[in-house]
């Protein structure tokens, strides 16, 4: 019924599959923790819908290089958004969630070291001259525990709401 409902409101196969995998994980977790007992596990017969490859949504390289050449007034929202995009590009496609969690202490020995939020994977990126210039601007006058960027995403609900708003604005500017 849940799958049929998701289909009726227009969710894609991939979205429905993600929802169903989450429901299955919660259900199986409750059983494993002894919070729920069942004689029949519906997920033994029910098959989660398969996913299909999604179309790549990245911009083409030429468009990105045109963005790099754009000049904006220093400190303007467009200027910051361009910088954030360049940092993410120079950090091998860092996502915005990881960007806003960067602290000054994550910059050491001409490297950016951080833990990927989604997977926990430790990542270390060598600094390009472009990345060094941008990070120098944002780290100036800050202590090692300070966030590099104004989102200050510490994982709390309040900072997450601020993060979502900033991500939406940055994406719009980009």
**pLDDT value of residue 152:** 61
106-133: average pLDDT:
91
Q: Which residue has the tokens 């997920």?
A: 43
Residues in Cβ contact with 65 at an 8 Å cutoff, skipping those fewer than 6 apart: none
Q: pLDDT-derived band of residue 83, with 50, 70 and 90 as boundaries?
A: very high
Which string of b and e fits 32-51 if b means at least 16 CB within 10 Å?
Answer: eeeeeeeeeeebeeeeebee
Q: Which residue has the higher pLDDT, 156 or 18?
A: 18
């Amino acid at each position: 019924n849940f799958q049929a409902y998701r289909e009726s409101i227009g969710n894609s196969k991939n979205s429905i599959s993600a929802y169903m995998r989450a429901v299955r994980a919660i259900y199986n977790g409750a059983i494993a923790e002894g919070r729920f007992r069942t004689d029949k596990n519906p997920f033994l017969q029910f098959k989660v819908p398969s996913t299909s490859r999604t179309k790549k949504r990245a911009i083409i390289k030429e468009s990105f290089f045109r963005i790099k050449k754009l000049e904006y007034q220093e400190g303007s929202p467009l200027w910051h958004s361009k910088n954030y995009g360049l940092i993410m590009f120079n950090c091998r496609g860092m996502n915005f969630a990881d960007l806003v969690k960067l602290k000054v202490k994550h910059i050491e020995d001409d490297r950016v070291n951080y833990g990927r939020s989604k997977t926990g994977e430790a990542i270390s990126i060598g600094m390009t001259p472009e990345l060094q210039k941008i990070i120098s601007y944002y780290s100036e006058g800050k202590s090692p525990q300070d966030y590099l960027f104004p989102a200050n995403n510490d994982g709390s609900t309040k900072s997450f709401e601020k993060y979502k708003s900033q991500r939406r604005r940055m994406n719009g500017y980009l």
